[in-house]
Chains A and B, each alone.
Chain A
Amino acid sequence: MLIARDICADYNRKAVLREVCFGARPGQITSIVGPSGAGKSTLLKVLTGDHAFAGTVRLDGRDIAAFPLRDLARIRAVLPQSTPLAFPFTVIEVVRLGLVNHPGQDHIARRALAQVGLAGFEGRYYQELSGGEQQRAQLARVLCQVWEPVGADGTPHWLFMDEPVSSLDIAHQLQVMALARQFADRGGGVVMVMHDLNLTAMSADSVALLRAGRLIVQACPEDVYRDDILGEAYGCRLEVGKTPVRGAFVLPQMVTVP
Chain B
Amino acid sequence: MVTQIAASPLAGDRSRAARRLGYVLVGLLGLTCIAGLAVGAAGTSLWSALADLAVGRELALRDKVVLWDIRVPRVLMGMLVGAALAVSGAVLQGLFRNPLADPGIVGVSAGASLGAVIAIVLGGALPLAAAMGAWIVPVFAFLGAWGATMTLYRIATRAGRTSVATMLLAGIALTALTMALTGLIVYVADDAQLRDFTFWNMGSLAGATWGKLAVAVPLILLPLAASGLLARGLNGLALGEAAAGHMGIPVQRLKGAAILIVAAATGAAVSIGGGIGFVGIVVPHLLRLATGPDHRFLLPNAALLGAAMLLLADLVSRTIIAPAELPIGIITAIIGGPFFLFILLRQRGIVDL
Taking beta carbons and an 8 Å cutoff, which residues of A are in contact with B? Answer: 48, 50, 69-70, 72-74, 76-78, 80, 83-94, 96-98, 100, 106, 110, 122-125, 128, 145
Contact = CB atoms under 8 A, between A and B. Distances in A.
B248 A74 contact: yes
A100 to B, nearest CB: 5
A220 to B, nearest CB: 29
Nearest to B245: A69
B13 interface: yes
A87 B289 CA distance: 10
A123 B11 contact: yes
A93 B245 contact: no
Pairs A-B, 5 closest by C-beta atoms: A73-B248, A87-B293, A123-B12, A90-B12, A92-B12
A123 B240 contact: no
A106 B99 contact: no
B123 interface: no
A174 B194 CA distance: 72
B292 A86 contact: no
Interface residues of B, number: 32
B243 A83 contact: yes
A96 B247 CA distance: 12
A72 to B, nearest CB: 7
Q: Is the interface of B mostly helix, strand, loop or mixed?
A: loop
9 contacts: A48-B246, A86-B97, A87-B238, A87-B288, A89-B292, A90-B14, A94-B239, A97-B236, A97-B239
Interface of B: 1, 3-5, 8, 10-14, 97-99, 235-236, 238-240, 242-243, 245-250, 288-289, 292-294, 350
Contacts, number: 94
A124 B12 contact: yes
A253 B233 CA distance: 50
B247 A97 contact: yes
A73 B246 CA distance: 6
B292 A50 contact: no
Contact of A86 (B1, B98, B242, B250): B98
B13 A80 contact: no
B89 to A, nearest CB: 13
Contact of B10 (A83, A86, A106): A106
A98 B246 CA distance: 10
Contact of A78 (B236, B243, B289, B293): B243
Given A88-B288, A124-B4, A124-B12, A98 B247 contact: yes
Contact of B5 (A80, A83, A123): A123
A86 B238 contact: yes
A80 B245 contact: no
A100 B236 CA distance: 10
B14 A93 contact: yes
Contacts of B5: 90, 123
A88 B292 contact: yes
A92 B245 contact: no
Contacts of B249: 69
Contacts of A88: 288-289, 292-293
Contacts of A69: 245, 248-250
B101 to A, nearest CB: 10
Nearest to B234: A87
Contacts of B292: 88-90, 93
